[in-house]
Amino acid sequence: MPRIAPQLTPAKHRRPTANGLAHLATTMARIADRAVIGDIEGEAVRVGDSHDRCYDVRPMLDQHEHSAESVDMFSEALAYAITRGLVVPSEGTPWLVRIVTRP
């Protein structure tokens, strides 16, 4: 069954409730989780076999490949992914991360 888009109301007419704020926070985290996994899958280099979800993230942090602003953004995104438990850095080779969950 297709999802029905929420009815859009101008922000000045909406009053956030505690339940609404909790739902918003959950939605924001889900969007951020998907975005950071997409960044890793799109910008890092996959290593290992097709079942191994391990990525070399050094290309994401290469200042010769990306602007300083992009490197800062990717660095922040990787820290977020580690903190959220979406990826786990390999011991001894912290630039290799394994995606352990799919949002």
Q: pLDDT at position 85, please?
A: 95
Task: Calculate mean pLDDT across residues 48-69.
Answer: 90
Residue 13 is assigned to a structural domain of this protein: no
Residue 93 is assigned to a structural domain of this protein: yes
Residue 83 is assigned to a structural domain of this protein: yes
Residue 32 is assigned to a structural domain of this protein: yes
pLDDT digits (tens, 9 = 90+) for 9-57: 666 666 667 778 888 899 999 999 999 999 999 999 999 876 778 999 9
Q: How many domains does the chain have?
A: 1
Structural domain span for residue 27: 18-99
Residue 10 is assigned to a structural domain of this protein: no
Residue 27 is assigned to a structural domain of this protein: yes
Residue 23 is assigned to a structural domain of this protein: yes
38 phi and psi, to 5 degrees? -60, -40
pTM given for the model: 0.77
